[in-house]
Amino acid sequence: MKLTAYLLFDACCADAFQYYEKHLGGKIHGMMTYSQMPNAPQMTPEQAKSVLNARLEVAGTEIMASDAAPELFETMQGSYLTLSVESDAEAERIYNALVDGGSARTPLQETFFATRYAQLRDRFGVLWMVIHERPMP
C-alpha cells in the first residue's frame, strides 16, 4: 500500500510544480494538460492548458495534482505538507523559498521541539510546515 497526497490548484498547478522542482529539489515525473486527453472535447484555450494530472517527487515522496474546475476549487485548509530537514540552514532556505509571495502562519523560529519550525501558505495556496526537529528523548 502507498499513500499519496493529491493537491488541487486554482489554475496554477504547472507553475507550482515547476517552482517546487526548482526550490525543493523535486522532480516532475509527468504532467498532462486537458488538451492532451484522448478525444478531448471542445474547450477554451485556458481550459486546454489546465493540468489534468501531474506527478512530482519531493524528498522521496510523490505528490499528485491537477487544476480544479473553478466551481470545484476550495482553498486548502486543515492539512499541511511537512518537510523535515537535516539542518537549520536548510530549514531557512526552504522556508524563504516557500514563504516568498505567500504568508507565514507561524514564522520560522526555535521551539521546544525543533531548532527551526514554521507554518506557512505558499503563493500557490498550499499549506506547508518546515521543521528541523530536536532529538527526541
Q: What is the CATH number of the domain that holds 100?
A: 3.30.720.110
- 43 with 10, same domain? yes
Tell me if 75 is assigned to some domain. no
- 9 with 57, same domain? yes
Mean pLDDT per 10-residue run, the chain (137 residues)?
Answer: 94 98 97 88 84 96 95 92 97 98 98 98 98 91
Tell me if 74 is assigned to some domain. no
- 57 with 16, same domain? yes
**Residue 45: its pLDDT value, please?**
82
3-state DSSP of the chain: CCCCEEEEECCCHHHHHHHHHHHHCCEEEEEEEHHHCCCCCCCCHHHHHCEEEEEEEECCEEEEEEECCCCCCCCCCCCCEEEECCCHHHHHHHHHHHHCCCEEEEEEECCCCEEEEEEEECCCCCEEEEEEECCCC
**Residue 136: its pLDDT value, please?**
83
Q: Where in the sequence is the domain holding 24, given as residue range(s)?
A: 5-67
Q: What is the CATH number of the domain that holds 45?
A: 3.10.180.10
**Residue 65: its pLDDT value, please?**
98
Contact 98, 119 (CB under 8 A): no
Tell me if 73 is assigned to some domain. no
The total of structural domains in the chain comes to 2
- 89 with 37, same domain? no
- 17 with 57, same domain? yes
- 97 with 55, same domain? no
Q: Please give the Cα distance from 63 to 107 (Å, whole number).
A: 25
pTM of the model: 0.92
